[in-house]
Amino acid sequence: MTRAQSNVVGVALLLGIAVISMAALTAAVGALVQHNAASADATRVATALDDALEPVETTGQHSDTVRFTSGHLSTVDREIRVLDASGVRATVEVGGLVFEAGDHRVSYVGDAIVRRSGGSAWLHDGPPITATARGDVFVASVARLNASGGGVGGTGETTATVRTRVRHNRTALGTGTFGVAIETATPGPLERWFRERGATVSRRDFDGDGTESVIGRFPGSRTGYLVVHDMHAEVNGG
């Protein structure tokens, strides 16, 4: 009788362990599916923003769509500063767009697109800043989002429409040493981008809002230009 009871208890324990294991496996598979879906959404959004927001190449009206299955696309306050030897030469309130889905994030600031997944971050597209290897020209092309419309997102298939009306304004900065400060919540990729182009890199929170700017200062005396591409963007659902 005791042996029979032991067998029943043993079977019950095995069944319990099997149920727990299946539940853990189901949870793990579900988390993996969610992670892969968020990664796919982030890739789609980064590519779509790259296509929808082309201020350097575009003049006049343009419209495109950004699609994702889950997540949220919203505007953020961001600034880009052009620096010379005396300090801040110009400040442009560029704004930005941020997409978040789980631990995946895509940010658009000043025509630079940065992706983040967990603890890793990388550039999808670099900022349109030119500092020639000969050290004679510096051009800061600054994309100003100038956005209206609220955030878009949620669960289920979502489509955001991005419309722009792009105008360009060029300002001569004279001759001197120049740099650029880009406000960003993901500084690492931009720091690497500046260093790869020979710039001296630092960080500073210019306006005390808690979001630092990555500063890249280029060596040598150059003829400088600031080109502001004002997009007058509208971001709406549908």
Least confident residue range of 20-29, 112-121, 139-148, 155-164: 20-29
Q: What is the mean pLDDT of residues 60-68?
A: 89
In this predicted structure, what is the pLDDT of residue 148?
79
Query: CA nearest 132: which of 221, 192, 228?
Result: 221
| Confidence check: pLDDT of 174 > 60 | yes
pTM over 0.95: no
| Confidence check: pLDDT of 14 > 80 | no
Rounded to whole angstroms, how far apart are CA atoms 152 and 163?
14
| Confidence check: pLDDT of 183 > 90 | yes
**CA dist 72 to 51, 59, 133, 150, Å?**
19, 28, 40, 11
CA 50, distance to chain mean position in Å, is: 11
In this predicted structure, what is the pLDDT of residue 81?
98
pLDDT-based confidence at 8, cuts 50/70/90?
A: low
Rounded to whole angstroms, how far apart are CA atoms 125 and 193?
10
Rounded to whole angstroms, how far apart are CA atoms 33 and 21?
18
In this predicted structure, what is the pLDDT of residue 7?
58
DSSP state of 148: B
In this predicted structure, what is the pLDDT of residue 17?
62
| Confidence check: pLDDT of 111 > 70 | yes
pLDDT in tens, 125-173: 999 999 987 779 999 999 999 987 667 776 678 888 899 999 999 999 9
More confident residue, 194 or 133: 194
More confident residue, 21 or 225: 225
In this predicted structure, what is the pLDDT of residue 207?
94
Name the token pair of 146: 């100038």
In this predicted structure, what is the pLDDT of residue 25?
44
